[in-house]
Amino acid sequence: MPTPSDSVRRAEAAVEALSPSFRAWLGEEVQALVEACRAAETEDFSIESRQGIYLSAHTLKGQASTLGQPQIAKLAASLCRLLGHWRPSEDYRELAAEHVAAIDGVYRRNDPEIANRLAYALVQEMNRRTDALLDAPAESE
């Protein structure tokens, strides 16, 4: 009769076997975000194009931690916050694109230790810059 520890070992083995699939799923979500940002850049970050970025970022915010990338989830959360308080300016467009580049860069790092250190620094910087931009007074039109 299997013991509880046998069940745990089997479950851990099953999760480990799925690990490559998790990375592939995460890669598809990151690629969707990159493509949404490219589309937004060609459309000068129109409302519709920003919605595409937001949907992809929101998906990553919710799934990246489950897929083993909590720092990507934090970067995506910062991007969602920026998009939720959007003001039409070059600063907002640049910071949104930098968030996407940071998420893509963290995903592409193959060394988990380096990726985690890089991601932590990027999360801190993106949050700091997002806070500063959102706290800045709106430019008068």
Whichever domain contains 101, its CATH number is 1.20.120
Question: Which whole number is the average pLDDT over 111-125?
Answer: 76
Evaluate whether residue 140 is within a structural domain.
no
Where on the phi/psi map is residue 115: left (φ > 0), alpha (ψ -120 to 50), or beta? alpha
Number of domains in the chain: 1
Question: Which whole number is the average pLDDT over 118-130?
Answer: 84
Evaluate whether residue 100 is within a structural domain.
yes
Please name the residues in contact with 126: beta carbons below 8 A apart, sequence gap of 6 or more.
75, 78, 79, 95, 98, 99, 102
Evaluate whether residue 19 is within a structural domain.
yes
pLDDT digits (tens, 9 = 90+) for 2-28: 667 776 677 666 556 555 567 788 899
Evaluate whether residue 21 is within a structural domain.
yes
The pLDDT > 70 percentage for the chain reads 80
DSSP string, 47-104: HHHHHHHHHHHHHHHHHTTTTT-HHHHHHHHHHHHHHHT--SSHHHHHHHHHHHHHHH
Evaluate whether residue 82 is within a structural domain.
yes
Q: Is the pTM of this model over 0.95?
A: no
Evaluate whether residue 141 is within a structural domain.
no
Residue 98: predicted pLDDT: 95
Confidence band of 118 (pLDDT split at 50, 70, 90): confident
The pLDDT > 90 percentage for the chain reads 46
What is the end-to-end Cα distance of the chain in Å, rounded?
A: 74
pLDDT of residue 75 exceeding 50: yes
Range of the domain at 125: 4-135
Sign of the Cα pseudo-torsion (34, 82, 48, 29, in order): positive
Residue 16: predicted pLDDT: 61
Q: Give me the chain's average pLDDT, please.
A: 85
